[in-house]
Each structure stands twice: as C-alpha cells, then as structure tokens.
Chain A
Amino acid sequence: EDQVTQSPEALRLQEGESSSLNCSYTVSGLRGLFWYRQDPGKGPEFLFTLYSAGEEKEKERLKATLTKKESFLHITAPKPEDSATYLCAVRSSGNTPLVFGKGTRLSVIA
C-alpha cells in the first residue's frame, strides 16, 4: 500500500528564516511526486511534479528535491504570503489516483 508521511505537522518561521519541509514515501514504483499549496478554505494549487531521484524544480522562493525515499520542499527567505498548508502526494505505477500526505501547515511571521 502506498504511503506518504509529511513532517513537521506545523512549522512557524520568522520572515526571512529559511527551512525545509519533508515528505517521506513508500510506493510500488514511483510515477511522480507532487507538491501542492493549499490556502485555508480553498482547493489545492499545483506547484511541482518530480519524477526521478536527483531531480530538482524551483519556483520563486520554493525548491523541491527528490531522493529514492523522500522529497524536500525548501523555502528560502520566506514571506508572510508563503503561509499555507503544503501537501505532498505520490502516484505509483498504473492508473491510480494520487495518494496524499496530511500536509505541513506553514506560518511565516513578519
């Protein structure tokens, strides 16, 4: 059974204080690892897809990396507007829907 574990559950940062969010996964053949951002009361917004170990993708202050067992979402010099819940999901081999972790709730304080 595919599983995704995100840590920490919640993270509080000062503005400009860089940090990383972790997503550990176990799947039977990874076909993609996905990061989403979700604001309170809204649907998740797609950020990145990673397909193979060693792959990295960047968008503004966010950088996602992937190893064979986990992914990190690095946040460089965060701003208050980066506050949100960040969700990680995986798709295993075959035509299966995404399996989500429980998310990390990030708060960036000015």
Chain B
Amino acid sequence: DGGITQSPKYLFRKEGQNVTLSCEQNLNHDAMYWYRQDPGQGLRLIYYSQIVNDFQKGDIAEGYSVSREKKESFPLTVTSAQKNPTAFYLCASSARLAGGAFQETQYFGPGTRLLVL
C-alpha cells in the first residue's frame, strides 16, 4: 500500500525545545517537500529536496532544518529559533521524469499539527 506517512499526528513543543517531524514515503519518489499551513494563509514552502543529500530553502526556511539521508525519508526539525511554530505541517513528494524534470503532481501526507505548550 503505497503512500506518504507523517508522524506524529499531533506534537507539542515546549518553549526553547527542538522537535522533529517525520515524513516517510514508499512511492519511490525522488523529490520531497515540506509546507506549513496556517488558517487563511494557504500552503507555504519551507524546504524541498530533489535528490538524496541535497535540499533547498523555500519561502519560509528560517527556524527550520531538514536532512535527506535516504530517498524515503525527509524529516523536518522545528528549532527553538522558530518563534511561532504553531501550524499544520504537510509533507509531499513527486517523481522524477526521464531527463531530470519533476513529475508535475505532488502528493501529500496526512499532516502533523504542532502546538506550543
């Protein structure tokens, strides 16, 4: 059963704490993405990775960090530098076409809701 899994579903962060959100996919997709969703704001890109051991900053990367050590996994760490982390976090992936271009369609996981205590 192919798809994207995110864990945990809910995550609580104490002030000054770093927390890591998990994203795993078994679709054999090369590209993976992290978005943040706030009410009325739509989806905003945090980081994306086109290939293992490489990633690029999106529009709102400050206060976040990522790694891409395996094709299947793209964890996101919300650091203590992110002062307003409360949001719904979505991971997505897409395949790579012959010639190196992305398959256009991005598929999403179920999301993780991060709350601050």
Residues on A facing B (Cβ under 8 Å): 9, 31-32, 34, 36, 41-46, 49, 87, 89, 91, 95, 97-98, 100-103
Contacts and interface: CB of A to CB of B under 8 A. Distances in A.
B109 A43 contact: yes
Nearest to B90: A43
Interface in B72-117: 88, 90, 92, 100-102, 104-111, 113
B40 interface: yes
A101 to B, nearest CB: 6
Contacts of B102: 91, 95
Nearest to A101: B42
A42 B6 CA distance: 11
Nearest to B88: A41
18 contacts: A32-B104, A34-B105, A41-B111, A43-B4, A43-B92, A43-B108, A43-B110, A43-B111, A44-B43, A46-B105, A46-B107, A95-B50, A97-B58, A97-B106, A100-B42, A100-B43, A102-B42, A103-B42
Interface string B29-65: 0000101000011111100101000000010000000
A101 B41 CA distance: 8
A1 to B, nearest CB: 10
Tell which of A44, A49, A87, A97 has the most Cβ of chain B within 10 Å.
A97
Contacts of A95: 50, 100-102
A97 B104 contact: no
Contacts of A101: 42
Contacts of B88: 41
A34 B103 CA distance: 12
Nearest to A48: B105
